Chain A
Amino acid sequence: MSSILKIILQRLGLGLITLFIVSIVIFVAVNLLPGDFAEAILGQGATPESVAQIRRDLGLDQPLVARYLDWLRGMLTLDLGTSFAQLNFAKAMGGAGSVTVAEQIAPRLSNTLFLAAVTACIAVPVAVFLGVLAALYRNTAFDKAANLFTLSSISSPEFFMAYVLILFLAVLNPVFPSLSNIYEGMAFSERLQKSMLPALTLTLVVTAHMMRMTRAAIINLLASPYIEMARLKGLSPMRVIVKHALPNALAPIINVIALNLAYLITGVVVVEVVFVYPGIGQLFVDSVKIRDIPVVQACCLIFAAAYILLNLTADILSIISNPRLRHPK
């Protein structure tokens, strides 16, 4: 087990370095975009004086490196800073208190995590189950239909799938609301109901990958001598696959699941927009539009951390699922 601990520490260390590099890349990239916060917020009618005023207020007149170091210093004391928009508003209002980035992001992030969790709870069991069935009935009509369905849903644009679901489940048969305007303090059941359509849309998007990997990983093992042995013991085909193939196919399946979960946290902007779901994706896109660097930075770090942690979890689960690594000789 000490080897697992070593891996975790090593990967967390590498993860921190990755986060640091990501923060530099994002900082530079946002600055390479034409325009800055002052120009974006004031629009076309801005006078050079007012632009300069805002820049001075927010410290945007400082050189790039100085601004990055300033941000980094805050970061190291766990201060994500205050968004330019909030700060600018506060200044204009005469220095009243303003909402920090952390306070801004927290509710959005928890909404996103909620949606990702609901989606995962539907998509992962469905995908693995369909994958097992597809492997069991490989090359039959069921297998082909499952493949066709999941592949078409992954190949269609997300907003299209979203509107199809709205049409069938909100308009023609009003089962779920088409607007997912959830807010704090909402009852869990209502929250769940309102999140259902975006969750289903995302399920359609992520299922194909996981299902096809489950199917492929299992079929890949079917030629193994121990599978032949299981068959020659007179076991049922279902038992052969679930008991003998699946446990050995877990590592690749877990990895694909982790990648898809990471996607659910970082890549759901379109679905959020369609359903007006107050998640972090929407906030992120808005912040990029107005070059609000503190918010963009914070979002990117969260996205990167999600990828790193999910992949780390996947690797650890893969190790735990392998008795050869769990019980060395």
Chain B
Amino acid sequence: MSDLLKIRDLRIEGRSDETWTPIINGVDLDLKRGEVLGLIGESGAGKSTIGLAAMGYTRDGVRISGGSVEFDGIDLVTASARVKRDLLGKRIAYVAQSAAASFNPAHKIIDQHTEAPVQHGVAKRSTSVEDGIELYRKLRLPNPDEIGFRYPHQVSGGQLQRAMTAMAMSCRPDLIIFDEPTTALDVTTQIEVLASIRNIVDEFDTAAIYITHDLAVVAQMADRIKVLLRGDEVEEAETREMLSHPKEDYTKSLWAVREFQRPEKPPAPADAVPVVSVRNVTAAYGSTDVLHNVSFDIHAGRTVAVVGESGSGKSTTARCITGLLPPRQGEILFDGEVLPADYRKRTKDQLRQAQMIYQMADTALNPRKTIGEIIGRPVRFYGGLRGAKRRERVHELLDQIELEPAQYYHRYPSELSGGQKQRVGIARALAADPKFIICDEVTSALDQLVAEGILRLLADLQDKLGLSYMFITHDLATVKSIADEVVVMKDGRVVEHGPKTDMFTPPHHPYTDLLLSSVPEMDPDWLTDLLAERGVDNLGDAAVDKM
């Protein structure tokens, strides 16, 4: 059978300032009808760019400079805009990373669903509405009869992602491009979406390109996997072959990332005074309580990972500790002394002791200040150092985060990579010379290799400086590699709390169990087995609701 999609020597360039620089350097790709190809690689590998180019589409400031993209005999590189518009939505559809951002907030879901069929003349609106409801049912959305008549903001992220898959299916296309469709979701929600996508792609025998940076996910979804690195193909093979016998060093290094693991420290002595003690904290936004009676301790030189899904109260707990959100009840102790609930009532020294590192280093650093100024500010504010002394201290801090001071002191954040920016965020926290640092999802925006570097750095700093960390994350692999103790949160409550080894050895709380079993594994049969084991009614969302 002939190929549905045939990409040959695809070259794509991106504009930076006035010059065009290559992003994709001659990639070939073949896809048969009904086949699923996984595209993996780190950010900047060009996965999404290739995915969009497979639709004959490039974003602003990007152009196809050579090669061909042949879809069912039509070259999309040379085809006119009208020809491409005829294919898009009808025969080639797209599922974006963030359904919340990719649904138009101004229109109801079903109106967006029927738009492509009606505009392409594939179906009448009424037929398309019925079909949409049928698809919602197949994708196991709750209330399939009425969910489409809501606005996007009234529906949860995981459900929207499935509604978007339904939308892509609305014209029964030959090819769907899935661009990181589950990256923004919690693990338990991810399972449901993965299962839905896989079923429906199977059922309609749709070909798909599945783009992701998560190997374990792609292992569940793809027949074949293609690995990309900075716009070049590294290797391509059948999924099982690729997982068991990766040929290239780069692929092997991707496989190996998850192996970083710190030895667990011995438990703190029973009579030790914890650095931070959260005692029976209940907190509310407005009149609704979002934290209920949360208690845990963080001892000197140790890392406590706080895990849970979005909305479980992890970040709210951090806000209570930092005093940004004074708790309604309960108290925060630092070195055994009660801290004022409101940060404005805390002394400078109390503020200095607890620092924070943020998830998005991009937005947490002032783009108009140099690295030297960014780190120098807390050095002066908390340490009172000026002039040469301040400069010396900033150099020392840059050394600690392994950035060459002479080279980076005068640079601006925009000239740094994501990992380097996060390192600057760490240096800024260290500048206050704190005892305790809250790390809020500090690695979740980073690629695996870079994230590992950050975790290693944090571990080293802990050993050298005796820091205590509260590590907020939803990624259990991160927990495994860095935590000493784990606090599992759900709906604003602590459901399990203890040393890491206990957490990862059964028996656990049913919710912890669900979280652990929901983390995709590198085994291509993992999803199938899990679904069989849980039964269709016990997938992610449904399972969470039952608890």
A residues engaging B (CB < 8 A)? 223-226, 228-236, 239, 243-244, 247-248, 321-324, 327, 329
Q: Decide: A233 near B88, CB < 8 A? Known: A226-B104, A228-B96.
A: yes
| A225 touching B96, Cβ below 8 Å | yes
Q: Report if B102 contacts A (CB, 8 A).
A: yes
Chain A neighbourhood of B55, CB < 8 A: 232
Q: Report if B98 contacts A (CB, 8 A).
A: yes
Chain B residue nearest to A324 (CB atoms) is B153
Q: Report if B247 contacts A (CB, 8 A).
A: no
Chain B neighbourhood of A225, CB < 8 A: 96, 98, 101-102
A324: which of B85, B88, B101, B151 is its contact (CB, 8 Å)? Answer: B151
Q: Chain A nearest CB: distance from B121 CB in Å?
A: 11
Chain B neighbourhood of A226, CB < 8 A: 101-105
Q: Given the complex of chains A and B, what is the CA–CA distance between A244 and B106 in angstroms?
A: 8
Chain A neighbourhood of B98, CB < 8 A: 225
Q: Report if B248 contacts A (CB, 8 A).
A: no
Q: Report if B255 contacts A (CB, 8 A).
A: no
Q: Given the complex of chains A and B, what is the CA–CA distance between A247 and B150 in angstroms?
A: 17
| A234 touching B120, Cβ below 8 Å | yes
| A239 touching B106, Cβ below 8 Å | no
Chain B neighbourhood of A224, CB < 8 A: 101
Interface residues on B, range: 20 to 34
Chain A neighbourhood of B107, CB < 8 A: 243, 247
Within 8 A of A (CB), among B4-27: none
Q: Chain A nearest CB: distance from B110 CB in Å?
A: 14
Q: Report if B84 contacts A (CB, 8 A).
A: yes
Which 9 pairs from chain A and chain B are nearest by CB?
A: A234-B88, A233-B89, A234-B89, A247-B106, A225-B101, A232-B94, A225-B102, A234-B85, A226-B104
Q: Given the complex of chains A and B, what is the CA–CA distance between A327 and B151 in angstroms?
A: 8
| A229 touching B94, Cβ below 8 Å | yes
Q: Report if B390 contacts A (CB, 8 A).
A: no
Q: Mark B93-132, 1 if CB is under 8 A from A, else 0.
A: 1101010011111110000000110011000000000000
| B88 touching A232, Cβ below 8 Å | yes
Q: Given the complex of chains A and B, what is the CA–CA distance between A322 and B106 in angstroms?
A: 7
| B105 touching A248, Cβ below 8 Å | yes
| A228 touching B85, Cβ below 8 Å | no
Q: Given the complex of chains A and B, what is the CA–CA distance between A223 and B19 in angstroms?
A: 21
Q: Decide: A248 near B151, CB < 8 A? Known: A234-B119, A239-B119.
A: no
A323: which of B52, B115, B151 is its contact (CB, 8 Å)? Answer: B151
Chain A neighbourhood of B90, CB < 8 A: 234
Task: List 17 additional contacts besides A224-B101, A226-B103, A228-B96; criterion CB under 8 Å.
Answer: A223-B60, A225-B98, A228-B59, A232-B89, A233-B88, A234-B85, A234-B120, A235-B115, A235-B116, A235-B119, A236-B119, A243-B107, A247-B107, A322-B106, A323-B151, A323-B153, A324-B151
Q: Given the complex of chains A and B, what is the CA–CA distance between A7 and B261 in angstroms?
A: 56
Q: Decide: A324 near B96, CB < 8 A? Known: A233-B115, A234-B86, A234-B119.
A: no
Chain B residue nearest to A239 (CB atoms) is B119
| A235 touching B89, Cβ below 8 Å | yes
Chain B neighbourhood of A239, CB < 8 A: 119
Q: Report if B57 contacts A (CB, 8 A).
A: yes
Q: Given the complex of chains A and B, what is the CA–CA distance between A231 and B93 in angstroms?
A: 11
Q: Given the complex of chains A and B, what is the CA–CA distance between A229 and B115 in angstroms?
A: 12
Chain A neighbourhood of B116, CB < 8 A: 233-235
Within 8 A of A (CB), among B38-52: 52
Q: Chain A nearest CB: distance from B125 CB in Å?
A: 14
Q: Given the complex of chains A and B, what is the CA–CA distance between A224 and B104 in angstroms?
A: 9
Q: Report if B414 contacts A (CB, 8 A).
A: no
Chain A neighbourhood of B115, CB < 8 A: 230, 233, 235
- In the complex, 8 of the A-B residue pairs with CB atoms within 8 angstroms, ordered by the A residue number, are A229-B102, A232-B88, A233-B89, A234-B116, A235-B116, A247-B106, A248-B104, A324-B151
Chain B neighbourhood of A230, CB < 8 A: 104, 115
Q: Given the complex of chains A and B, what is the CA–CA distance between A323 and B55 in angstroms?
A: 31
Q: Given the complex of chains A and B, what is the CA–CA distance between A184 and B501 in angstroms?
A: 91
- Total contacts A-B at CB 8 Å: 79
Q: Mark B75-88, 1 if CB is under 8 A from A, else 0.
A: 00000000011111
Q: Report if B293 contacts A (CB, 8 A).
A: no
Chain B neighbourhood of A329, CB < 8 A: 153-154
Chain B neighbourhood of A243, CB < 8 A: 107
| B102 touching A234, Cβ below 8 Å | no
Q: Given the complex of chains A and B, what is the CA–CA distance between A233 and B96 in angstroms?
A: 12
Which residue of A225, A229, A327 has the most chain B CB atoms within 10 A of its CB atom? Answer: A229
Q: Chain B nearest CB: distance from A132 CB in Å?
A: 15
Q: Given the complex of chains A and B, what is the CA–CA distance between A329 and B151 in angstroms?
A: 9
| B153 touching A236, Cβ below 8 Å | no
Q: Chain B nearest CB: distance from A24 CB in Å?
A: 37
A229: which of B59, B84, B96, B120 is its contact (CB, 8 Å)? Answer: B96
Which residue of B84, B94, B104 has the most chain A CB atoms within 10 A of its CB atom? Answer: B104
Q: Chain B nearest CB: distance from A249 CB in Å?
A: 10
Chain B neighbourhood of A229, CB < 8 A: 94, 96, 102-104
Chain A residue nearest to B104 (CB atoms) is A226
Q: Decide: A231 near B57, CB < 8 A? Known: A224-B101, A225-B96, A327-B154.
A: yes
Chain A neighbourhood of B59, CB < 8 A: 228
Which residue of B87, B89, B103 has the most chain A CB atoms within 10 A of its CB atom? Answer: B89
Chain B neighbourhood of A231, CB < 8 A: 57, 88
Q: Given the complex of chains A and B, what is the CA–CA distance between A307 and B57 in angstroms?
A: 46
Q: Decide: A236 near B104, CB < 8 A? Known: A223-B60, A228-B96, A327-B151.
A: no
Q: Given the complex of chains A and B, what is the CA–CA distance between A228 and B55 in angstroms?
A: 12
Q: Mark B472-510, 1 if CB is under 8 A from A, else 0.
A: 000000000000000000000000000000000000000
| A228 touching B153, Cβ below 8 Å | no
Chain A neighbourhood of B103, CB < 8 A: 226, 229
Q: Chain A nearest CB: distance from B301 CB in Å?
A: 43
Q: Given the complex of chains A and B, what is the CA–CA distance between A234 and B76 in angstroms?
A: 13
Chain A neighbourhood of B151, CB < 8 A: 323-324, 327
Q: Given the complex of chains A and B, what is the CA–CA distance between A323 and B153 in angstroms?
A: 9
Q: Given the complex of chains A and B, what is the CA–CA distance between A322 and B150 in angstroms?
A: 14
Q: Given the complex of chains A and B, what is the CA–CA distance between A239 and B86 in angstroms?
A: 14
Q: Given the complex of chains A and B, what is the CA–CA distance between A229 and B116 in angstroms?
A: 11
| A234 touching B84, Cβ below 8 Å | yes
Q: Chain A nearest CB: distance from B44 CB in Å?
A: 19
Chain A neighbourhood of B89, CB < 8 A: 232-235
Q: Given the complex of chains A and B, what is the CA–CA distance between A236 and B115 in angstroms?
A: 12
Q: Decide: A234 near B105, CB < 8 A? Known: A229-B94, A329-B153.
A: no
Q: Given the complex of chains A and B, what is the CA–CA distance between A234 and B119 in angstroms?
A: 9
Q: Given the complex of chains A and B, what is the CA–CA distance between A329 and B156 in angstroms?
A: 10
Q: Chain B nearest CB: distance from A318 CB in Å?
A: 13
Chain A neighbourhood of B84, CB < 8 A: 234
Q: Given the complex of chains A and B, what is the CA–CA distance between A151 and B102 in angstroms?
A: 35
Q: Chain B nearest CB: distance from A235 CB in Å?
A: 6
Chain B residue nearest to A247 (CB atoms) is B106
Chain B neighbourhood of A324, CB < 8 A: 105, 151, 153
Q: Given the complex of chains A and B, what is the CA–CA distance between A285 and B449 in angstroms?
A: 73
Q: Given the complex of chains A and B, what is the CA–CA distance between A247 and B104 in angstroms?
A: 9
Q: Given the complex of chains A and B, what is the CA–CA distance between A322 and B119 in angstroms?
A: 25
Chain B neighbourhood of A247, CB < 8 A: 104, 106-107
| B94 touching A234, Cβ below 8 Å | no
Q: Given the complex of chains A and B, what is the CA–CA distance between A230 and B115 in angstroms?
A: 9
Q: Given the complex of chains A and B, what is the CA–CA distance between A92 and B452 in angstroms?
A: 95
Which residue of A228, A233, A235, A321 has the most chain B CB atoms within 10 A of its CB atom? Answer: A233
Chain B neighbourhood of A234, CB < 8 A: 84-90, 116, 119-120
Chain B neighbourhood of A232, CB < 8 A: 52, 55, 57, 88-89, 93-94
| A323 touching B106, Cβ below 8 Å | yes
Q: Given the complex of chains A and B, what is the CA–CA distance between A1 and B90 in angstroms?
A: 40
Q: Chain A nearest CB: distance from B166 CB in Å?
A: 13
Q: Chain B nearest CB: distance from A294 CB in Å?
A: 48
